[in-house]
Amino acid sequence: MSVNGVTGAGSTYSTYSAAPKSTEAKTESKETAAKSEGAVYEPSKEANTASTKKYKPDTQMIAKLKADADARTSQMRSLVERMMTKQGQTYGKANDIWSFLASGNFTVDPATKLQAQADIAEDGYWGVSQTSQRILDFATALTGGDPSKIDEMREAFEKGYKLAEKKWGGNLPDISRQTYDAVLDGFDKMAKEAGIVE
């Protein structure tokens, strides 16, 4: 390698630096100049979509819970209507099935009593544990699990409970109050797990 080759590179550099700047370089915007002076953070679209969770109702779970509740409610209604018919009363004569039950003015045959006791037992379909869990599952399915909706679901549940008491004609039976407390405890647990309350 010759020394002239190295010194020739130096003269090329000086020629380049002495050349006048083009008009394109002069019209460089302030924004471009600012970017060339330092790094500018621009979050990627991938990072934004990963950190932003979208919540939507679980329509399959809602349909399943509704169908199950409708079937079980129909079964219970049928049980009560059979009991009423045996006593010479008809559903049409009673103002309302709920007020009829609340009155306590009826007798229950042994088979109906056994079925009702099984249904409201701790592990029964209408027992505190299963009923409160269904209510919480339904609330979760409606909100898609969005923790910001917990308070809204709690308020809707409390409103529904008050409407049920009004329809009943006063305080609901003890099992209903136990279920109410279990549901509120469930909402509290959900809020704590979501970091909404400590």
Give pLDDT, residue 53: 78
Give pLDDT, residue 69: 80
Q: What is the mean pLDDT of each run of 10 residues along the chain (198 residues)?
A: 51 48 50 54 54 80 84 75 60 58 76 88 92 94 91 95 90 94 96 82
Give pLDDT, residue 62: 85
Q: Which residue has the tokens 């970091």?
A: 195
Distance, in Å, from the CA atom of 177 to the CA atom of 161, rounded to the nearest integer, reads 9
Which parts of 36-185 are beta strand (E)?
Answer: none
Distance, in Å, from the CA atom of 187 to the CA atom of 198, rounded to the nearest integer, reads 13
The pTM score is 0.57
Give pLDDT, residue 50: 46
Give pLDDT, residue 72: 81
Give pLDDT, residue 3: 53
Structure tokens at 131: 């009923």
Give pLDDT, residue 65: 82
Cα torsion at 87, 91, 94, 99 (round to 10°)?
Answer: 100
Given a contact cutoff of 8 angstroms between Cβ atoms, the answer to whether 147 and 194 are in contact is yes
Given a contact cutoff of 8 angstroms between Cβ atoms, the answer to whether 166 and 159 are in contact is no
